[in-house]
Amino acid sequence: MFERSGFIVTACERAVVAEKKILLLISFLEPWSMGPERGAPSLYETIRGYASAGWHVHYLTAQKRSVGGGSHEQNIDIKIPDVSVHRFPLPAPFTKLGLRIQGKLDRLYYFPSYAAKAIREYLERVNPTLIYAYEEGAILAMSRLKSNSICCPVLHRFQGTILGSSYRSFPAIMRKMETWMALRKRADLYVMTDDGTLGDQALTYWNSHVTEDNLLFIRNGIDSTGKGEKVDHTSTLERFSEAGDAPILLMVSRLAGWKRIDRGIDLVSDLRGRYSRTKLIVVGDGEQKDQLMGYAAAKGVKDNVFFAGSQPRSTVFSLMQSCDIFLSLYDISNCGNPLFEALLSGIPVITLNNGSTSAVVTDRLNGLLVEPNDQFGLFSAMLELYENESLRRKISEGGLAWARQNMLSWNDRMEVELSWIYSQVQLRE
């Protein structure tokens, strides 16, 4: 048995993985953003995809501690064959100065520095075939290593960019320095999620090493849990909302400021004069939950807005098939998995015309597009869609058709990534 700094790799494990390609995947994130099988599944599906393709995955991350009530703040186990999870402790000496300060220091310094130390040890221990730096913390950690200490290809993976269309804006960069720094770091391969945040443009603008050959710009896969199963709409809605002759709206996201759940609450408030019993079901958890609940109370719609917390994917899909209208009103872009899954479920969608959302949603064909900050336009779109059955049917059918034609399952999405990697670099066995 080999042991150092709290990491353990058995001799038996070394013998088994020696026959496989070995992925050393580093990330500050947990495999699920809001709890086991809840929230964003991108990291989990990436790990599962490599393990299913015959790789042994070493997932290296930090012991989590709550610093802000947000996502990725609890250790989440992964029970997948050929996946080993290794965690290192991460200090939090500045929590007394405020959780936001500690969180920023985690992203800029603590995780990159402590992860870099762990990576150095694991490079010797597992002899990886490929190093997979997942998101900015891991990318900054890799940049702390000397290049001559790395003897295999390195891939940088981005889940879009929080900078959005402001990726050239100096004030935006100053607020998200860790994002800007990560975009500039050199790697052999880059995978950028096509989520409408213009991540490909940001990466090629700031990183001269990125080319058409070494960049894979691709959408996430889509989960089809519950697809084809009969959904009991009445029992589904009874769990979250009273039945009634009024619109039942749905929003699904982490409760973060830029996800703009407040826009949905404002819409419910605006609808009171026309449909006083309108219900908004909000699925998700996050640091803004208490603030949003207070906002709903201040707007006089506390009883109209139900915060359902994070839910299993099967429940989310059932809600999408049972509610009347899906709202996606993010600031930066709206082309994330909740929107894609809504299109696949057939629920009519109203979203904002920002980022590259219009590349997915064509107004009045597979959704209604509203200009950002046009609250009256949102109100009008909501009324028209709810009161026009033929338009709802048209948009529902259009959404289904688009999703079936353009979205890949997670298995197929990962197969594309792996095939691309094999075509780009020579991997040793």
Q: How far apart are the first and last CA of the chain?
A: 23
Per-domain residue ranges for the chain? Answer: 2-221+409-424, 233-406
Q: What is the mean pLDDT of residues 91-111?
A: 87
Homologous superfamily of the 2-221+409-424 domain (CATH): Glycogen Phosphorylase B; (3.40.50.2000)
pLDDT at 60 over 90: yes
**182-228 pLDDT tens trace:** 999 999 999 999 999 999 999 999 999 999 999 999 999 997 655 65
pLDDT at 15 over 50: no
Nearest to 282 by CA among 315, 255, 257: 255
CB count in 10 Å sphere of residue 214:
17
The residue that leads in pLDDT, 159 or 232, is 159
Nearest to 385 by CA among 425, 302, 325, 318: 325
Burial label, 285 (beta-carbon count in 10 A; 0-12, 13-18, 19+): buried
- Percent of the chain exceeding pLDDT 70 equals 92
Contacts of 417 (CB under 8 A, 6+ apart): 49, 191, 216, 218
Q: Which stretch of 50-59, 134-143, 233-242, 337-346 has the lowest confidence by average pLDDT?
A: 233-242
**Do the two domains 2-221+409-424 and 233-406 of this chain adopt the same fold?**
yes
Q: Give the three-class secondary structure for 344.
A: helix
* Per-residue confidence (pLDDT) for residue 332, from 0 to 100: 87
User: Residue type for 158, please?
Assistant: F
- Percent of the chain exceeding pLDDT 90 equals 77
Nearest to 134 by CA among 214, 192, 76: 192
Tokens of 129: 């075939």
Homologous superfamily of the 233-406 domain (CATH): Glycogen Phosphorylase B; (3.40.50.2000)
CA 104 vs CA 57, 97, 287: distances in Å: 28, 12, 15
pLDDT at 12 over 50: no
User: Residue 68's pLDDT band (boundaries 50, 70, 90)?
Assistant: low
CA 122 vs CA 5, 22, 79, 366: distances in Å: 11, 12, 21, 48
Beta bridge partners of 190: 156, 215
Distance CA 286, CA 348 (A): 26
Q: What is the mean pLDDT of residues 348-363?
A: 94
* Per-residue confidence (pLDDT) for residue 428, from 0 to 100: 67
* Per-residue confidence (pLDDT) for residue 3, from 0 to 100: 33
pLDDT at 353 over 90: yes
**Ramachandran angles phi, psi of 102, nearest 5°:** -65, -40
User: Residue 148's pLDDT band (boundaries 50, 70, 90)?
Assistant: confident
Q: What is the mean pLDDT of residues 258-277?
A: 95
User: Residue 25's pLDDT band (boundaries 50, 70, 90)?
Assistant: very high
Q: Give the three-class secondary structure for 301.
A: coil
User: Residue 35's pLDDT band (boundaries 50, 70, 90)?
Assistant: confident
Q: Is 313 left (phi over 0), alpha (psi -120 to 50) or beta?
A: alpha
* Per-residue confidence (pLDDT) for residue 73, from 0 to 100: 75
Distance CA 139, CA 187 (A): 9
* Per-residue confidence (pLDDT) for residue 4, from 0 to 100: 32
Distance CA 200, CA 238 (A): 43
255 touches 288 (CB < 8 A): yes
Asked whether the CA dihedral 313, 314, 315, 317 is positive or negative, the reply is positive
133 touches 157 (CB < 8 A): yes
* Per-residue confidence (pLDDT) for residue 70, from 0 to 100: 56
307 touches 292 (CB < 8 A): yes
* Per-residue confidence (pLDDT) for residue 69, from 0 to 100: 54
Would the pTM count as exceeding 0.75?
yes
pLDDT at 18 over 60: no
pLDDT at 11 over 60: no
Tell me the HSE value of 11 on the side-chain side, using a 13 A CA sphere.
1
User: Residue 159's pLDDT band (boundaries 50, 70, 90)?
Assistant: very high
**Mean of the per-residue pLDDT values of the chain:** 90
Q: How far is CA 297 from the centre of its chain?
A: 29
Q: Give the three-class secondary structure for 382.
A: helix
The residue whose two tokens read 């026959």 is 19
Q: What is the mean pLDDT of residues 244-266?
A: 93
User: Residue 427's pLDDT band (boundaries 50, 70, 90)?
Assistant: confident
**273-332 pLDDT tens trace:** 999 999 999 999 988 999 999 999 999 999 999 999 999 988 999 999 999 999 999 998
Q: What is the mean pLDDT of residues 65-80?
A: 75
